[in-house]
Structure 1
């Protein structure tokens, strides 16, 4: 395998820096979903932790290193989950955290960031506007700017998911042969991809992105950075318009495929995860299921792992998307 920015030894070492509450998340076969999907499906449940997303694996690494260097403050831009994770990790280590977010971000995510004692600054515009403002704050205050996916700690922290998947491979029956990964900035896709290509190269690494926010997938397909002028998706956690060139370079070496899914399939995936698995998830976490729903023939007869990456969702929005079917109670 050609070299990427990531390093397997650093990913293995990252486990020692991460609070165990974020490690060894459940991985289990979800047979109740299989009749609807036409293949064997296992779920890697990254919502079973205090911030209900995988992001803390990376922020734990970042804040551990910052604490060792006696740093007192940090800033990031976030659609919500990174901000929550950084706030949780920073609070645990006595580091002041500022999160810049769009004022149109999920209210539930913004509320949780405040509850974790972070300073929250809201901007007009989308996540790209928030990134610009976070960079200004970092320069003005002389503090660390955490840039999701660009900062290797975010990728290699997420890569510990891949270690757990690789460790579990021999014990699954039948062994899984594909992993579906929500694709936004690319931290989880490159981190997990680095481990699987090193330790389980026969496992297909498939990235999934909403058709309404396709920049990274279009970039992967064209092997060059493709930006978009706008986004239109409920999957706010993976919505971005400007891929990072260095991350794309890694993704080109680590992903076997990148696919786009429609909004209706994302919602259908959320409903399926609720009705068949009892899981309330945010739209980004349903991307893997959406990919199977849109291409059952591709996955027929296979054993697929989908990473359920986040469970932070506004209750009103969730009810609006998923709806109330006869016999269903919320």
Structure 2
């Protein structure tokens, strides 16, 4: 079992805490997608839930922990999906949630944060500016700062996806996971390396937001300048050292893909699987498109991690 901050028994216990609406999401082989990509392709669909992303698996654990401790308020920075999920989970458990987001976040994600019941504060700058403001509010108010990927609950909640993948009747040769802050990649990767060690765990990140991938390859934290990608959900610049340590223990590879491949991946998922997804969710397909020989003839699974996408932007990208 890899040496990380995560614990397999806690992850198994998490299934009893997470609302069942977020568990056992569809996992199926998509033959048309496989024919297009030249491999056997299975999809783990993490958009078929009330917040349209995988993030609530982690926020369910966070909100339960806060409620058990009698804490009634929390704040987080979010590119969009975490804030919506924490708002949803907090509302059901009596936890008031404040979300700080960058003005560059898609309007649809900001609208859904508000609809979740969370208080939203929008700041100038990018996601890192939102992180700084959220940390300031936590100190000012004396409340819990929820930090995606650093808080182990966000990783172990996402890791329950790995339990469902590892329990699949059909074994996979590789699993492709979108890489941003690292919660999903470390969580799913940890479970797969613990239960299905022969499965190759491959993390995928946009070339326009490469901080965590560069860090993984250099085995040290590498920060970057401003990001340049439509995949806003994975566009961080400052990797968290503890998360990188976990990722180094569980990932077999980390690759970068171009913006053109991300757009083609989104279009391919629409045409072959009937799925409208946000750019981050197309990263796995994008990786296959860029290196078909590597994946030819193999059974690949990819996690479709979110579908909170602005439809006007989506149409302009995929030309529908």
Question: Is the pair's TM-score, using the shorter chain for normalization, greater than 0.5?
Answer: yes
Which runs of 5 or more residues in structure 1 are unaligned? 325-330
Please, which of 247, 265, 285 is the counterpart of residue 243 of structure 2? Answer: 247
What is the aligned partner in structure 1 of residue 165 from structure 2?
A: 165
Distance 1:238 1:138 in 2: 23
State the Cα RMSD in Å. Answer: 0.6
Partner of 2:218: 222
Residue equivalent to 1:327: none
- Which of 172, 197, 203 is the equivalent residue of 1:201? 197
Partner of 1:81: 81
Instruction: Give the paired residue count.
Output: 320
Partner SS, residue 274 of structure 1 = helix
Aligned positions of 1:311-322 closer than 5 A: 311-322=307-318
**Does 1:176 find its partner at 2:172?**
yes
Q: Name the structure 2 match of 1:56.
A: 56
The answer for the alignment partner of 2:209 in structure 1 is 213
272, 297, 310: which is aligned to 1:276? Answer: 272
Shift of 1:177: 1.0
Q: Which runs of 4+ in 1 moved over 2 A?
A: none
CA contact (8 A) 2:2 2:194 kept: no
Q: Deviations over 1:222-247 (max 9, x none)?
A: 00100001100000000010000110
Q: Which residue of 2 aligns with 1:265?
A: 261
Partner in structure 1 of residue 293 of structure 2: 297
Equivalents in 2 of 1:31, 1:2: separation in Å?
Answer: 33
Residue in structure 1 matched with residue 142 of structure 2 by the alignment: 142
The Cα of 1:2 is off from its aligned counterpart by 4.3
Deviations, residues 161-212 of structure 1 (Å, cap 9, x unaligned): 00001111xx12xx21100000000000000011011000000000000000
Report the TM-score when normalising by structure 1: 0.96
Q: Distance in 2 between matches of 1:275 and 1:17?
A: 36
Tell me how far apart the structure 2 counterparts of residues 261 and 134 of structure 1 sit (CA, whole Å).
Answer: 30
CA distance in 1, matches of 2:175, 2:39: 13
Distance 2:19 2:7 in 1: 21
Please list the CA deviations of residues 19-63 of structure 1 after superposition, one character each: whole Å capped at 9, or x if unmatched: 000000000000011121000000000000000000000000000
**SS in structure 2 of the partner of residue 226 of structure 1:** coil
Partner of residue 328, structure 1: none
Tell me, which stretches of 5 or more residues in structure 2 are unaligned? none
CA distance in 1, matches of 2:69, 2:142: 14
Q: Which residue of 1 aligns with 2:106?
A: 106
Post-superposition offset of 1:284: 0.1
Give the superposition deviation at 1:314: 0.4
Is the Cα–Cα contact under 8 Å of residues 2 and 193 in structure 2 kept in the other structure?
Answer: no
Distance 1:117 1:163 in 2: 30
Matching residue of 2:128: 128
